[in-house]
Structure 1
Amino acid sequence: MAEVSQTANAKAVVARKNLQSSFFKRGISLALFSGVSYGLYTAFLTMGMTKGVWGDWYGANTKGLSAFVVVYLIAALGNAINDVCSAVWALSYAGVKGKFKDFLRCINTPPGRIMILAALIGGPIASTAYVIAIQMAGSIVVPISALCPAIAAILGKVLYKQELNKRMAVGIVICVSASFLIGSTGFTGETSPNLLLGLGIAVIAALGWGFEGCVAGYGTAMIDPEIGICIRQVTSGVANLFILVPVLGMMAGGVNISTNLAIQAFTSGPAMIWFALSGLLTFLTFMTWYAANSMCGAGLGTACNGTYSFFGPLFCLLVLGVYGGMDGWSLPPVAWIGAVVMMFGIVTISMNPLDLFRKKKEEV
């Protein structure tokens, strides 16, 4: 009788370990998908900001707009419209799934307030810092922003006691190093006089996204990730469109400037098609990223999500360069090398690479 009980307990332990392993691997898969969809979102958003009235704003005919408006206000407006579209997709999805009432109930709960905090830091603050940094320093800020996996991993370890062993740490370092390798071409040719300031602002973006990944992963561990993404996107969209953009409008000379630009942007049909697509991809990106962080930890989830530093330029090449016929979107050889290095880093943080060889030996 005792032997039967021990056998049953052993089987239960094995089943539990297999379930945990499956849950962990699914988290890694979702995090990788979030990196791919983030790359697509970047390409669609960039395409949208070349169509319709945006082509006039960024083209030779700027309609008398100041440099501040063109560089900062219009960029923030593009981000705001994208987040509003993403919020519409998130709310529609919640409605179809019958979770809209749950969304309303969760807003004013401790997990809901955590998600609102994460959205405010990762949305208006981090995203705006990212846009400003790109304007100042160029593409080199993309790998700088990829420091967020390391930041999320450290915060996850300190705040929530999440596992961060030496192998995982090495994998995260490899991924971050690969991101820098991919973005190293930003130092070629003439550099911006505001390079160092731009890099410093990019660090703010990395800190914001790292904090969001850590906090949001904790929040979605207590509530449905599909509800969490609704709270995140609605908060970010409202804060960007009704707080950030008007503030930048006042800095540019008056709220009426931002209001007029917003009306023109929302009524520009050729551009809004692409914003609708970028909003959909943003919704998918953050939903899978939040879910992944709650399943495999903030460090691993954010590290895998950091593959956007490769997928972003790749899809920009395909969508803008190949499909759109625009120049300047080709990928240098170093980007492909960085991609291989990054994939090795992802394997390292998700599993011990030596296990692949061990399994082969066992099969033989």
Structure 2
Amino acid sequence: MSEVTGTVSASAIAAKKKLSSQFYKKGISIALFSGLMYGFYSAFLTLGMSKGVWGEWYGTNTAGLSAFVITYLLGALGSAVNDTCSAVWALLYAGVKGKLGDFFRCINTTPGRVMILAALIGGPISSTAYVVGLQMAGSIVIPITALCPAIGAILGKILFKQKLNKRMMVGIGICVLASFMIGSTSIGGDAPKGRFLGVCIAFIAALGWGFEGCVAGYGTSMIDSEIGITIRQTISGLSNLIILIPIFGIMAGGVKISNGLVVQAFTSGPAMIWFAVSGLCAFVSYMSWYRGNSMCGAALGMACNGTYSFWGPFCCWIILGVFSGMKGWSLPPIAWMAAVLMMVGILVISMNPMDLLRKKEVN
């Protein structure tokens, strides 16, 4: 009888280990998928901002827009349109899952307000800086924005007294080295005009997303991540539309300027098709990231998501450069090497790489 019991117990343990291993590996796959989808979001967003009325604004400029409007107001508008589309996808998903009631109930709770704060940081500030950087310097800014895990680790140490050990410091150093490698392509006589400023603006996005990660991590620890993401995307889109764009409009000469551009942007069919796709990709990326984190751990999930430092330029090159025939989306070899190095740095910050081998040995 004891032998039979022992055999059953051993079989149960083996089955449990197998299930845990499959769950862990699936989580890694989903987290990696989030990085790929973020790359597609970046590419389709940029494609949308080249179609319809956007082509007139950035091309012939028949509307007579000022340099400030073209550089900053249109960047904020592109971010607003994308985040609004992403919010619509998130709300539709919540409706299908029967979670719309939870969404409205959670908004006025402490975790909900934390997510609103995260959205205000990541939406009007970081997302706009990201879009402006993309328009000014191209896909080279994407690995720069991937500094956000390193910045988040530093801010976590300063704001929340979180542990920052030697391994994490090494990872931060690797990320900084990679950013300098990328930055070196934005200076000198061969660098396109505006690339250096675009890279600097990308650092603003990395700083904001690093701070958002610290705040959002607290919020999603207390509410359903799907609800948290819906709050984040909805508030991000609305805050861009009703706060940042009017402010830029006033700075450009009046709110009527921004209101007119908003109406034209949302009624430009050829562009909205691609914004709907970019919004869907952004929503799926966030969803996959949070789901992957819950399955393989936040540290490894963050490292897997950080692969967008490579997938972003790659997707932009394929969709914008190869298929759409747009010039300026190829990267020099040093930028590709830096993007891969950035992924290594993010992995070292998030976890001890040797743990991957140990996990495999255990499994």
TM bin (shorter chain):
0.7 to 0.9
Aligned equivalent of 2:57: 57
1:251-290 map, 5 Å: 251-290=251-290
1:199/1:279 CA distance change after superposition, 3 Å: closer
Partners of 1:45 and 1:274 within 8 A in 2: yes
Report the Cα offset of residue 133 of structure 1.
Answer: 4.8
1:188-199 map, 5 Å: 189-190=190-191, 192=193, 195=196
Report the Cα offset of residue 73 of structure 1.
Answer: 1.0
Aligned equivalent of 2:43: 43
Give, as a single letter, the amino acid of the residue that structure 1 aligns with 2:353: N
1:67-82 map, 5 Å: 67-82=67-82
Percent identical pairs in the alignment equals 67
Report the Cα offset of residue 292 of structure 1.
Answer: 4.6
Partners of 1:213 and 1:298 within 8 A in 2: no
Report the Cα offset of residue 187 of structure 1.
Answer: 3.0
Report the Cα offset of residue 333 of structure 1.
Answer: 2.5
1:331/1:297 CA distance change after superposition, 3 Å: same
1:212/1:31 CA distance change after superposition, 3 Å: farther
Report the Cα offset of residue 248 of structure 1.
Answer: 1.0
TM-score, L = length of structure 2: 0.82
Partners of 2:48 and 2:273 within 8 A in 1: yes
1:337/1:40 CA distance change after superposition, 3 Å: same
Partners of 2:229 and 2:287 within 8 A in 1: yes
Aligned equivalent of 1:205: 205
List per-residue Cα deviations over 1:48-75 (Å, max 9, x = no partner): 0111111111112432111111111111
The more displaced of 92-101 and 216-225 is 216-225
1:330/1:355 CA distance change after superposition, 3 Å: closer
Partners of 2:175 and 2:346 within 8 A in 1: yes
1:124-143 map, 5 Å: 124-133=124-133, 141-143=141-143
Aligned equivalent of 1:230: 230
List per-residue Cα deviations over 1:207-255 (Å, max 9, x = no partner): 2101111221221121111111100000000001121111111111111
1:163-182 map, 5 Å: 166-167=166-167, 169-171=169-171, 173-175=173-175, 177-178=177-178, 180-182=180-182
1:12/1:184 CA distance change after superposition, 3 Å: farther
Report the Cα offset of residue 307 of structure 1.
Answer: 2.4
Q: In 2, distance between residues paired with 1:46 and 1:304?
A: 23
Give, as a single letter, the amino acid of the residue that structure 2 aligns with 1:185: T
Aligned equivalent of 1:4: none
The more displaced of 119-128 and 30-39 is 30-39
Q: In 2, distance between residues paired with 1:177 and 1:25?
A: 30
Partners of 1:156 and 1:298 within 8 A in 2: no
Report the Cα offset of residue 315 of structure 1.
Answer: 0.6
Report the Cα offset of residue 140 of structure 1.
Answer: 5.5
Unaligned runs of 5+ in 1: 1-7
The more displaced of 84-93 and 135-144 is 135-144
Query: C-alpha root-mean-square deviation of aligned residues, in Å?
Result: 4.0
Report the Cα offset of residue 285 of structure 1.
Answer: 1.8
Aligned equivalent of 2:96: 96
Report the Cα offset of residue 123 of structure 1.
Answer: 0.9
List per-residue Cα deviations over 1:260-296 (Å, max 9, x = no partner): 1111111111111100000001111222334455666
Unaligned runs of 5+ in 2: 1-7
Partners of 1:156 and 1:299 within 8 A in 2: no
Q: In 2, distance between residues paired with 1:184 and 1:13?
A: 53
Q: In 1, distance between residues paired with 2:204 and 2:339?
A: 25
Q: In 2, distance between residues paired with 1:219 and 1:69?
A: 35
Aligned equivalent of 1:352: 353
Q: In 2, distance between residues paired with 1:314 and 1:298?
A: 25
Partners of 2:83 and 2:233 within 8 A in 1: yes
Partners of 1:32 and 1:307 within 8 A in 2: yes
Report the Cα offset of residue 9 of structure 1.
Answer: 12
1:343/1:14 CA distance change after superposition, 3 Å: farther
Q: In 1, distance between residues paired with 2:115 and 2:355?
A: 38
Partners of 1:179 and 1:310 within 8 A in 2: no
1:82/1:64 CA distance change after superposition, 3 Å: same
